[in-house]
Structures are given as C-alpha cells and as structure tokens.
C-alpha cells in the first residue's frame, strides 16, 4: 500500500466547488448525446444534439477559401517567417491580425463604426475574454448584473475563479423577454440593498438564448444607466455576424460613436470567431475596450490565454480579404435565415410557437402549454421526457435562469438539414402524443 495515502493533500475550494455550473441540465444533455449520438446510418434512433450553439452551415465557404489560398495554412515567407511566428508570444498580438479582426468586425456592422486595432486585446476565446474582464472590473464578492435568460456558461465564466457574483435581472414573456430600464434599476436597487456592490452590467446582444437583438432606444437607456451608476458595461456581441433578418443589428459601438465617445470609458465589447465563423476550436476571442487602462491591464492578463501565433497568422490574411469576408457574411446570413425559417415552420406545424427571433443559432421555444405543472420541476420533467423519449437534446430555460418555466432553447445550425428534418418529425409525433395523453386524462376523470 502506497505511503501517505490517507486523506491526501487537500484541494482548493475552487477545485471542489460546483461554481463551474457544469452539473446543470444544459451540460448533462450533452453527456446523454455523447453516450448515444444520432447518426443517419449507424444510429438512426440516437439522440439528436440540439443543445449546442455551433454554426456548421457555412464550412464549405471556409474550405473553399483554404483550397484557393493554400498559403494561408503555411509560412509562405520560408523558414525565417516560420521562426518569427514560432517565437512570437507578444501579448499585443500580431498587428496584422488585430487589423484584420477590426476590419471584420467593422464589416459585420456594415462599416457604420470604426474599430481601432490598438484597442483590441486577443484572448483564447470569448470564454477567456469574459472572465478576464470580470477579473479586471470586479473584486471577489462584487456583483455583475446579467439579464435572464442567459447563457449557462456565464456561471463559470463570471463567477468560478473570480469570486464575483451574477445578479440576475429577470425579463418576462409579457414583453418578449426584453430588458427594460425599469428592471435594470429595480435589480440594481435590490442588489445594493442586499449589500452587494454592483460593478458591471453584462448584456449579450444578439441574445443567447432568445435570438433577438436590442433596439437602439434600449442601448441608449443602458448607456445612460451605467453612466449614472458609474458601472461598466460588457456587451458580448459574439453573435453579431449571425443576424439574419430585421431589425438590423445595432452594436453598442454605434451608439458610442453617435455620442462622440463621450463617457464611454465604461464600455467594453467581447467578440469571437466561434459562432460567426464556426471555428470554436481555433480559440479566437477579443476584448475591445474604450478604456485605456482596461486595455493595458487586459493585455497583460491575457498572458494566461494567448491566441496561437500560427492561428493569428493564418486568419490575418483570410479576414483582411474583403472579397471573402463580404461574401461570407452575406452568404452565412442567408443560410441562417433559411434554416431559421425552416425550423420555425416545422415547429409551428408541430404545434409549437417560438419567440420571434432575428439572430443567433437557435430558437426560443414556448412549451409552457405542454407542462403538466407550471414549475421548474415540471419543466425538468418535460425536458427529461424529450431527452429520453424523443431523443432530442434541447436546453431547458431553467438552466438559463429563465424566470418563467416552460421555455426551451433549440439549436438549428449545428446539424445537416436532413437531421433537422428528422428532429422535426420526431417533435411532431411527440407533441401529438402529449396532446393525446392530456385528452385521455380528461376522459378518465
């Protein structure tokens, strides 16, 4: 028996805490998929993954580009180019890459704003960007306001290692779950009254899981609010390139520019290539801040999550190729619009309504009528049923901290159209079965 085995050297609180949030149904559903993944040929009765917000509809555009520009994937300037690149670990990031990212972000916003590459801090994904900003803007025990429903990963990103608390700002179906100035002010007051120091507001625009964009008036209200309370605003715009129908996307950057950059040192934008370009594995994220000190501090802290110099070089040429980016953005949007239309129609046909959305890689489904009990337990029971009987992994609203039970997020861009068709067929059958059960219950009593 090995020496010294007893209780063993203890681990930290962070290591044993559940604050990473990965025990929620949001992640549990992925496990169910892993164990029994759908395959049209090999496993046609398997679980269809509809809980993963990934964009796989435009891969071919990337493949084509790489095919036509093979130099993208190599070091065309020879060994010296390779050496430079291999040794490059400067936390400023490759200037050519920052320029390319800035120009791509401008392109997405219809060139209505200008991004200064020197204000971009590169991080290995938006996950790292959000955590980094939280470390910089808040101390352990402080709070960040986050409108609900929100992306479950925020629990981990904003709270786990930072010790900061998320304070939810609840939104309701009565107005399409839109954030209001009133709910912000009310949440702020309650937080402060419970001795929580609010340091920032984090919005996701376009919203995950709602799939909607914020109107200009709301953005104006938000900027006034943060200015008045002297707190920071983090605008996570990771889905900005996935707005496929009107209303047009308005970035907080546009409002800042309209205000001629007055009072904007509390505004920070997070972006990434994981959704719009469908490259989550590349780990490319960025913080764009209007605050010099935040830029400087974030840059230093980014040492813990630098983007591979190889990847920076590879993407620099691709993203500064305007012919490619214009075509990509346009085509991607069209395809997402088509997919979205297809799933919304299909769900409608099955008797399910969705919140009207114009962006993102998912729909916000209203299954409130299918709940046996209008509660979180009822919702989770329905979710388990959908997972085990219908073999669809969708995300229950409670895992997104939605204030009202019965809403579910369903992703539509991470599978082929054929698979989506199968999913819709299964859904229709299921809804009819549920309706049937309810009718039977009525008969018996």
Partner 1 sequence: MRIIVPLQGIVQGRGGLILGSLIPCALLYFLQFYLKRNRSSPPPHSPSESSANLPELAEIPRSTSRSTLSTRGSLRPVPVSSRAIAISKSRDSAYYTGLKKSLEDPYHPTYNPDGIIQLGLAENQLSLDIIGDWITANLQKSLLGEMRGDLNIRGLATYEPFDGLWDLKVAMAGFMSQIMGGSVSFNPAQIILTAGATPAVEALSFCLADPGNAFLVPSPYYPGFDRDIKLRTGVELIPVQCRSSNKFNLSIAALEREYKQAKKRGIKVRAVLFTNPSNPVGGLMHRETLYDLLNFVTEKNLHLISDEVYAGSIYGTEEFVSIAELLDTEDFDKNRVHIIYGLSKDLSLPGFRVGVIYSYNENVIAAASKLARFCAISLPTQCLLVSMLSDTKFIEEYIKANRERLGKMYALFTEGLKQLDIECCKSSGGFYCWADMSKFLQSYGVKGELELWENILNVAKVNITPGSSCHCIEPGWFRCCFTTLTESDIPLVMKRFSKVLKGHKAS
User: Which residue numbers are catalytic?
Assistant: 151, 236, 238, 275
49 binds partner 1 (CB under 8 A): yes
CB 393, CB 50: distance < 8 Å: yes
Provide, rounded to whole angstroms, the least separation between the CB of residue 18 and partner 1.
11
Distance of CA 299 to the CA centre of its chain: 22
Contact 390, 50 (CB under 8 A): no
Closest CA to 92 of 284, 292, 295: 295
Verify binding: residue 44, partner 1, rule CB under 8 A: no
Q: Taking the complex as a whole, how short is the minimal distance between the CB of residue 156 and partner 1, in angstroms? A: 7
Of residues 260, 258, 252, 261, the one with CA closest to residue 292: 261
Stretch binding partner 1 (CB under 8 A), from 170-178, 212-220, 286-294, 381-389:
286-294
CA distances to 27, 112, 158, 272, 327 from 265, in Å: 36, 20, 21, 21, 34
Helix, strand, or coil (residue 48): strand
In whole angstroms, the minimum distance from the beta carbon of 232 to partner 1 comes to 5
CB closer to partner 1 out of 299 and 426: 299
- Interacting span for partner 1 (CB under 8 A) from 34-42, 170-178, 201-209, 362-370: 34-42
- Using CB under 8 A, which residues numbered 163 to 202 contact partner 1? 199
Rg over CA atoms, the chain: 23
Cβ neighbours around 41 below 10 Å, total: 5
Considering the rule CB under 8 A, would residue 12 count as an interface residue with partner 1? yes
At closest approach, how far in Å is the CB of 409 from partner 1? Answer: 15
Binds partner 1 by CB under 8 A, chosen from 46, 61, 65, 85: 85
Selected from 44, 70, 111, 195, the binder of partner 1 by CB under 8 A is: 70
Give the nearest distance from C-beta 47 to partner 1 in angstroms: 11
Between 180 and 308, CB nearer to partner 1: 308
Tell whether residue 307 is a contact of partner 1 (CB under 8 A). Answer: yes
Largest CA distance in the chain: 82
Binding flag, residue 369, partner 1 (CB under 8 A):
no
Q: Does 309 contact partner 1 by CB under 8 A?
A: yes
The site string for partner 1 over 105-134 (x = CB under 8 A, - otherwise) reads -------------------xx-xx--x---
User: Which of residues 109 and 339 has its CB atom nearest to partner 1 in the complex?
Assistant: 339
What is the spatial distance between Cα 120 and Cα 91, in angstroms, rounded to a whole number?
Answer: 11
Whichever of 216 and 262 has its CB closer to partner 1, that residue is: 262
Cα–Cα distance, 352 to 368 (Å, whole number)? 10
Among 280, 346, 357, 397, binds partner 1 (CB under 8 A): 280
Ranges of beta strands (E only) in 181-326 are: 198-204, 232-236, 267-272, 285-289
* 316 versus 431: smaller Cβ distance to partner 1: 316
Q: Does the footprint of partner 1 cover residue 289 (CB under 8 A)?
A: no
Does residue 156 touch partner 1 according to CB under 8 A?
A: yes
In the list 44, 45, 68, 79, the residue contacting partner 1 (rule: CB under 8 A) is 79
- Count of beta carbons in the 10 Å neighbourhood of residue 331: 14
Q: Which of 173, 221, 208 is nearest to 406 (CA)?
A: 173
Which residues in the 401-440 window bind partner 1 by CB under 8 A? 416
Q: Which residue lies nearer to partner 1 by CB, 289 or 358?
A: 289
Residue 428: CB minimum distance to partner 1, A: 24
- Give the C-alpha separation, 250 to 206, whole Å: 9
Residues 6+ apart with CB under 8 A from 154: 130, 146, 166, 202
Number of residues that bind partner 1 (CB under 8 A): 108
Sheet strands side by side (includes 120-123): 120-123, 285-289, 267-272, 232-236, 198-204, 143-147, 165-169
User: Least distance to partner 1 from the beta carbon of 110, Å?
Assistant: 28
């Amino acid at each position: 028996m090995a020496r010294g085995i007893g209780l063993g050297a203890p681990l930290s609180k962070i290591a044993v805490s559940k604050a990473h949030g990965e025990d929620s149904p949001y992640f549990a559903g992925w496990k169910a998929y892993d164990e029994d993944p759908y395959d049209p040929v090999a496993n046609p009765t398997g679980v269809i993954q509809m809980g993963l917000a990934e964009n796989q509809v435009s891969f071919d555009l990337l493949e084509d580009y790489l095919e036509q520009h093979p130099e993208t994937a190599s070091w065309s300037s020879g060994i010296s180019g390779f050496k430079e690149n291999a040794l490059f670990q400067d936390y400023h990031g490759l200037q050519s890459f920052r320029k390319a990212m800035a120009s791509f972000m401008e392109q997405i916003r219809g060139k209505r704003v200008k991004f200064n590459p020197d204000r971009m801090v590169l991080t290995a994904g938006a996950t790292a960007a959000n955590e980094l900003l939280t470390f910089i803007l808040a101390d352990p025990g402080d709070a960040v306001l986050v409108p609900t429903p929100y992306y479950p990963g925020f629990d981990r990103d904003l709270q786990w290692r930072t010790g900061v608390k998320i304070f939810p700002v609840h939104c309701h179906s009565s107005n399409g779950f839109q954030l209001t100035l009133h709910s912000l002010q009310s949440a702020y007051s309650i937080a402060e009254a419970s001795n929580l120091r609010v340091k920032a507001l984090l919005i996701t625009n376009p919203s995950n899981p709602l799939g909607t964009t914020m109107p200009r008036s709301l953005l104006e209200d938000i900027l006034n609010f943060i200015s008045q309370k002297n707190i920071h605003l983090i605008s996570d715009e990771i889905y900005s390139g996935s707005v496929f129908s009107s209303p047009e996307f308005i970035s907080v950057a546009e409002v800042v520019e309209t205000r001629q950059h007055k009072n904007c040192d509390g505004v920070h934008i997070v972006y990434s290539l994981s959704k719009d370009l469908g490259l989550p594995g590349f780990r490319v994220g960025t913080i764009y801040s209007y605050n010099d000190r935040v830029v400087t501090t974030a840059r230093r802290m980014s040492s813990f999550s630098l983007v591979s110099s190889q990847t920076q070089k590879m993407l620099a040429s691709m993203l500064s190729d305007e012919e490619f980016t214009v075509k990509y953005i346009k085509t991607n949007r069209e395809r997402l619009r088509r997919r979205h239309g297809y799933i919304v129609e299909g769900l409608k046909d099955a008797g399910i309504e969705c919140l009207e959305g114009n962006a993102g890689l998912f729909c916000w489904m209203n299954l409130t009528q299918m709940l046996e009990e209008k509660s979180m337990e009822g919702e989770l029971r329905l979710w388990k049923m959908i997972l085990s009987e219908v073999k669809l992994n969708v995300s229950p609203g409670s895992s997104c901290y939605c204030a009202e039970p019965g809403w579910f997020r369903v992703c539509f861009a991470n599978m082929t159209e054929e698979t989506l068709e199968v999913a819709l067929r299964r859904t229709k059958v299921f809804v009819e079965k549920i309706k049937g059960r309810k009718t039977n219950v009525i008969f018996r009593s």
